[in-house]
Chain A
């Protein structure tokens, strides 16, 4: 009887003792105090609050003896904590992304402003440098004194080259629009040419320098007076565009962008094989950029030569769409290599197609 009493008491106590919590509860305790969850409390507080509520529901279900529901709710709470951590990660990434995108926009805006300042400063610097060159050329030098025959011969050659350059600069100025002093500058070049044709004993080298300086000054004045191209390509842009063709090899000088053509014509007026493609490219470029009038300069290997080939080329370029074309004959006044040397004729005889730049 006594034994039965002890057994009954034991069973009664066992029945009253609390049921041990499922393992998932200790796992849940670990997760809820993890550093990632602590951070999620700041970035995703609603998610963590939901997870905490589920955890409490799970505890209550366990205390009321609904073990299966308690386990499912604890599992739900665990998933909610994980979700809150993910939401915190998403919030952090989106906040940093917004900041990075704002910074990127700021940098792009600053870069555009610096680029604009650079364009303006470069244009100013180029204009000033050109004015410096013109001012230097215009400075009256000490008059040249008579020299020995060899020196005089060299001076005569140089004076002829300067006179020819002066005429081409004045022609370029005329293509951009006549300036007040252009007629006087051209008259100076005409007088110089007359003097040089007479084989003078003392070469007028100073007059030749001054004539070139005058024409460069007139070209600068015409450029200043020329209307703005309204966002059209500048000389550097045109140079880059022509360079990209891979067949024209352009360069820049005081007049603008220059393309040198050799052996353009075969027999008679017909274009030599391979030349038509280059002429077509030049015509297309002239048509696309009408703010660059064309100056065709015929250089010969020897003697004055004739401008016939230049005129024929002008016709072809006009037919291809070039709006303004002028032909000048430079003769043999500007040889590239010493005449008489091997291949000198082939190198010195050439036609220059100048895209006269209206910007300094």
Chain B
């Protein structure tokens, strides 16, 4: 029984060692930071805007690697968290810039719609006046229908 249990633990340990480290990495600060930086690397439009926080994130990750290389795991983990924070700041900076661009477009469209609305209201006012003029002319030209004779009250 004890032999079987030891074998089972051994198998589990072996499987854990063989399992790809991707999932764990993705959850770690370094993994998250690197994923964000890769995503930002593909975004050429905001490259200049987010250049500084990206550079800071990379610098922190480099120092974290050095710390881990020097067997300073605690300092390495702290610097990885710093790298992740800068990477998230860079990502949200590009999101803010994109939202501001959408805001600019929406404000431009609103301004154009307001101009159109002012013009359309002016045209409508003219048309309503035109209709009133035509109605007045018609009232003068067309004979009014004769008034119905007033009938007496029912007995």
Contacts and interface: CB of A to CB of B under 8 A. Distances in A.
A125 B130 contact: yes
Contacts of A117: 124
Contact of A73 (B72, B78, B121): B78
B53 A97 contact: no
B23 to A, nearest CB: 25
B99 A69 contact: no
Instruction: Name the residue among B89, B121, B128 with the largest chain A CB count within 10 angstroms.
Output: B89
A93 B106 CA distance: 12
A97 B96 contact: no
A134 B130 CA distance: 17
Interface in B50-78: 53, 56, 60, 72, 74-75, 78
Contacts of A80: 85
Interface stretch (B8-16, B38-46, B135-143, B146-154): B135-143
A170 to B, nearest CB: 22
Interface in B75-115: 75, 78-79, 81-82, 85-86, 88-89, 92-93, 95-96, 99-100, 102-103, 106-107, 109-110, 113-114
A104 B124 contact: no
Contacts of B81: 76
Nearest to A107: B113
B142 A135 contact: yes
Nearest to A66: B74
Contacts, number: 113
A104 B106 contact: yes
A86 B78 CA distance: 22
A346 interface: no
Contact of A132 (B117, B127, B134): B134
B116 A128 contact: no
Contacts of B47: none
B72 to A, nearest CB: 8
A147 interface: no
The bracket for how many chain B residues form the interface is 35 or more
A136 B134 CA distance: 12
B25 interface: no
Nearest to B109: A104
B120 interface: yes
B134 A128 contact: yes
Interface in A150-180: none
B123 interface: yes
A124 interface: yes
Given A72-B78, A132-B141, A86 B96 contact: yes
Contact of B113 (A69, A108, A125, A129): A108
Q: How big is chain A's contact interface, by range?
A: 35 or more
A220 to B, nearest CB: 12
A68 B113 CA distance: 58
A96 B127 contact: no
A101 B131 contact: no
Contacts of B56: 79
Nearest to A97: B103
Contacts of A122: 127
A97 B124 contact: no
B53 A118 contact: no
Interface in A76-92: 76, 79-80, 82-83, 86-87, 89-90
A122 B123 CA distance: 10
A264 B134 CA distance: 41
A268 B144 CA distance: 57
Contacts of A73: 78
Nearest to A44: B92
A183 interface: no
B96 to A, nearest CB: 4
B82 A76 contact: yes
Contact of A128 (B86, B96, B110, B138): B138
Nearest to A108: B113
A114 B82 CA distance: 56
Considering residues B88, B106, B107, B128, which has the most beta carbons from chain A within 10 angstroms of its beta carbon? B106
A82 B92 CA distance: 11
Given A68-B72, A93-B96, A128-B135, 13 more contacts: A76-B78, A79-B56, A82-B53, A82-B89, A87-B92, A89-B96, A107-B117, A121-B124, A125-B134, A128-B138, A131-B134, A132-B134, A135-B142
21 contacts: A69-B75, A69-B78, A76-B81, A86-B89, A87-B92, A89-B100, A90-B95, A90-B96, A93-B99, A93-B100, A97-B102, A100-B110, A104-B106, A104-B109, A107-B113, A114-B120, A118-B124, A122-B127, A125-B130, A128-B138, A129-B130
Per CB-CB distance, the 6 closest pairs between chain A and chain B, nearest first, are: A128-B134, A72-B78, A93-B99, A79-B85, A135-B141, A83-B89
